[in-house]
Amino acid sequence: MLLKEWYDSIILNFTVKAEQIKKELEAIPLLYLEEFYRSYMLILTRYYLLAREGDFARSLILKMDKWTNVSPYEMNMLLHIKGIYCLHFEHDYYKAITLLKEIDVKVYHNPEYNYDLAVAYHSIKARVSSYYYANKALQFFKDARCFSRLIDTEMLMLIQLEQDNFHDPKDDEYKRLIEVVDNYGLNKQRSLLLHNYGYHQLRRGYYDEAVILYKKAINTKEPNTTGYLGSLEGYLNALTAQKSTSQQELIAMALRGHTIAGQIKDTVHVHLFQLHMYKLQENKQRYLQYLEKKAYPYFLDSGHEFLTEHYSMKLFHYYMEREDMQKANQYAKYFMTKTFTDDDFV
C-alpha cells in the first residue's frame, strides 16, 4: 500500500521519495475516509518532522491529542512522534526520553525509535544509555540496508566513545566512515563526519588537522544555515588555538558568524560568536558579564546540556578565583552530579 511505502521512506530518511509519494497521496480523496484518515495524519506528521516543518507538525499533534478511541498502535506511534518533536524542536530531552520510553515494543514494531532515544540520551550526556540504544538501532538499519541512517548511527556511537575520557577512538574509525560515505555519495553524512572529525582533532590538540577538517566541512554547507555556523564556530576555535591567524581576521570571522546567526535567528550561535568577539578583543570583563547575564541563562533555559555544563564550570572557576563562594556554589550546583569532560567551546 502506498501509505506504508510512504512511511517506510520517512523512517529511512529517503527525503526525495517521501516528497514524491506525498504528492501522489494528496491526489487521493479516499485517504480522508475514516478507515485511512488517522494513519494518514500520523504519517503526515512524521513527514513534517523529517522536513523540519515544526509548526505544521505541532498543529497536527495538537489535533491528534484530541482523538478518542485511539488504538494501541496509534497511541504508540503518537508517543514516538511527540518524542521526536520534543527532541528536535523543543530541546526538552528529558521529556523526549519519558515519551519514547513509554512506547510498547509489543505493539509498535518500529525499532527506529531506538535511534531517537540514543540522540536524546546523548543530549543529556548519558553516554552509556546513548550507546546502548544506538547499537539497537544499528541492527535495524543494517537489516533495512539503509546506509545513510547506518552511518548516522555509527557516528553517534563513535561520539559516545570519543567523549568518554577513558577511550580514544583512532583516526582510522573516522577515515573508514568517510570512505564509506564517499563511495555511496552520502554528502550530508560526509559533512557531519568532517565536522565531528575536526572536533575530535581539536580536543586532542591537533589544531592544524582540525583547521583543515573544519574548512572542508564549511565548504560542504549552505552559508545561511545552522550547520554552516556550527562548523564556522569550530573552525574559529581551531584557528584561535592554532595561533597562526591574525586577531583582525579572527574578529572579522566572528562578526560574520554573529551577523549570519542574527539573520537566521539562531540564538545559540549569536551568543557563541559574541563570546568569541569579546575573547578575541581580550575584553574579559565584557566576556564574563555577557556570559553570565545573557548567554548562560539562555543555554540553561533552552536545554543545551553541553553548553550549560561547560559554562557553569567556567563561571564556577571564575568566582572561586575571586573567592566569592556564594556565586561559585550557585554554578557548582549544576555539575555536582555530572561528569566533567574537556569539551572545547569559546
DSSP string for 101-155? HT--TTT---TTHHHHHHHHHHHTT-HHHHHHHHHHHHHHHHHTT-HHHHHHHHH
Residue 343 located in a structural domain: yes
Expressed as residue numbers, the domain containing 5 is 1-69
In this prediction, residues 32-37 reach a mean pLDDT of: 82
Residue 316 located in a structural domain: yes
For residue 229, give Cα distances in angstroms to 198, 255, 261, 271: 14, 12, 7, 12
Q: What integer pLDDT is reported at residue 269 of this predicted model?
A: 97
Residues 287, 279 contacting (CB under 8 angstroms): yes
Residue 253 located in a structural domain: no
Residue 345 located in a structural domain: yes
Q: What integer pLDDT is reported at residue 345 of this predicted model?
A: 56
Model confidence at 341, in pLDDT bands (50, 70, 90)? very low
Q: What integer pLDDT is reported at residue 340 of this predicted model?
A: 45
Q: How far apart (Å, rounded) are the C-alpha atoms in residues 257 and 51?
A: 25
Q: What integer pLDDT is reported at residue 30 of this predicted model?
A: 79
Residue 232 located in a structural domain: no
Q: What integer pLDDT is reported at residue 15 of this predicted model?
A: 93
In this prediction, residues 76-88 reach a mean pLDDT of: 97
What are the pLDDT digits (tens) for 273-319?
999 999 999 999 999 999 999 999 999 998 888 899 899 999 999 99
Q: How many domains does the chain have?
A: 2
Q: What integer pLDDT is reported at residue 342 of this predicted model?
A: 45
**In this structure, which amino acid lies at residue 252?**
A
Residue 208 located in a structural domain: no
In this prediction, residues 255-265 reach a mean pLDDT of: 97
What are the pLDDT digits (tens) for 87-122?
999 889 999 999 999 999 999 999 999 999 999 999
- Boundary (domain end) residue, out of 69, 89, 117: 69
Residue 169 located in a structural domain: no
- Boundary (domain end) residue, out of 26, 42, 69: 69
Q: Which residues contact 188 (CB under 8 A, 6 or more apart)?
A: 148
Q: How far apart (Å, rounded) are the C-alpha atoms in residues 260 and 227?
A: 12
Q: How far apart (Å, rounded) are the C-alpha atoms in residues 150 and 145?
A: 8
- Boundary (domain end) residue, out of 48, 69, 90: 69
Residue 17 located in a structural domain: yes
Q: What integer pLDDT is reported at residue 338 of this predicted model?
A: 60
